[in-house]
Amino acid sequence: TDRKKLHTAPVGQVFRLRPFHVLVATGGGYAGYKKYEDYKLEQLEKRGIEAPVKLASEWEVALYKSVPTRLLSRAWGRLNQVELPTWLRKPVYSLYIWTFGVNMKEAAVEDLHHYRNLSEFFRRKLKPQARPVCCLHSVISPSDGKILNFGQVKNCEVEQVKGVTYSLESFLGPRISTEELHFSQAPPGNSFQQQLVTKEGNELYHCVIYLAPGDYHCFHSPTDWRVSHRRHFPGSLMSVNPGVARWIKELFCHNERVVLTGDWKHGFFSLTAVGATNVGSIRIYFDRDLHTNSPRYSKGSYNDFSFVSNNNKEGIPMRKGEHLGEFNLGSTIVLIFEAPKDFKFHLKAGQKIRFGEALGSL
C-alpha cells in the first residue's frame, strides 16, 4: 500500500507521429539514400566502369508514379518556408552542407544565421566573382551540375543518360506556331526533328545537366537568344538523379517541366527546366503567370503562353549569363538547339561543371 502509483499515457499518445516528424524522417532517409547511390556511381566511374542499364518495367513505373510525390513536394515546400529559430539554423544547415558537399565560401552571405528558412538557404546567391562568364564560347553552362549526356539528336530520340533515350516530340510537345518563333514553315512530310532545323546544313544538338541538391540552384541564360514561348507540362515529380535516370526510360517526359523555346543566331533554341521530387517549384523570373506543381493542373496536359504580342513582337531577349530562373532543390536542365555541323562540345560525360563555363562553340 506504500508503493507509489505509476501513471501511464495511452500508447497512441506516446507514439503519435506528427507531420513535421514524418517530413524530417522522409527527408533524412532520402538524403541518406541519395548519398549512398551517388557513392556507388562515383566508385564505378573511378574504376572506369559504366553503370549497367537496367530499365524499370511498366508496373514498376506505374507503382512509382502512384506515390503522391506532388502532394509531398507541396508539403516539403511549405516546410521550407517555416522560419527556424536562430539557435537551430546552424545545426540544420551544417548537416545539409555536410550531406551534399555545399561550398559556402562561394555564397554571397556565408553566415548561416542569416537564412531564416530552408527555402532561403536553397536559393542563396553567390559572390559576383564566384562564377565568371566565359566570353570566348557561344554556349555556356546555364547552371552548376553534372553533365549526364550531350551530342547530336538522332532519329528523333534524345539520350537522358547513355543508353536510355526519350522521344523528342514527347518531351517538347507538339510543334509551336512558326509565326511565334519567327521560323520558316517546314515541309509537312518532314520528321519532328527536321521541322525544328530551320537552316540548311544545320544539326540539332542536346545537353543534359543534373543539378544535385548541394549545387547552386539558380539557372541563367546559356547564350544570347530570344524566348518566344513557354510550355508548362504538369506531371509526376520522380527523382531525376543519375541512378533513376538510368532506370526509368523517358523519365523527363513523365516529370513536370517548363519548356522555353525561341531562337538564336543559328536558329531554334530551347531550355527546359525539369522538376523532381521535392522540386515542384520552378520559377522563371520574367514569367509571373507560371505556377508549377499546382492542384489546378492535371497530369497529361500542358498549357502554353506566348511572349510574342502586338506590343512585343520580339519576345523576351536574354543575354548570355543573365538570370533566368531557379529551383528550390536540385533538378535537371535540358538544352536542345540548332547549330551548324561544325559546332563542338567541350565536355566529357559525367564531368562536373559550373555556371558560366563553356559548353561548346563553333
pLDDT, position 224: 96
Average pLDDT, the chain: 82
Q: Directed axis angle between helix 19-46 and helix 86-100, to 10°?
A: 30
pLDDT, position 116: 92
Using the predicted structure, report yes or no on whether residue 52 has a pLDDT greater than 70.
Answer: no
Confidence of residue 236 (pLDDT cuts 50, 70, 90): confident
Q: Which residues are catalytic?
A: 144, 220, 331
Using the predicted structure, report yes or no on whether residue 31 has a pLDDT greater than 70.
Answer: no
Using the predicted structure, report yes or no on whether residue 189 has a pLDDT greater than 70.
Answer: no
pLDDT, position 41: 66
pLDDT, position 14: 45
| pTM greater than 0.85 | no
- CA 106 – CA 92 distance, rounded (Å): 19
Highest mean pLDDT among 4-8, 106-110, 181-185, 191-195: 106-110
In the chain, the percentage of residues whose pLDDT exceeds 90 is: 36
Task: Please give the average per-residue pLDDT across 263-292, as a whole number.
Answer: 88
pLDDT, position 248: 84
DSSP string of 112-165? GGG--SHHHHHTPPBPGGGSPPPSSSSEE-SSSEEEEEEEE-BTTEEEEETTEE
pLDDT, position 337: 95
Each residue's pLDDT tens digit, 11-22: 455 445 555 555
Using the predicted structure, report yes or no on whether residue 362 has a pLDDT greater than 70.
Answer: yes
pLDDT, position 320: 95
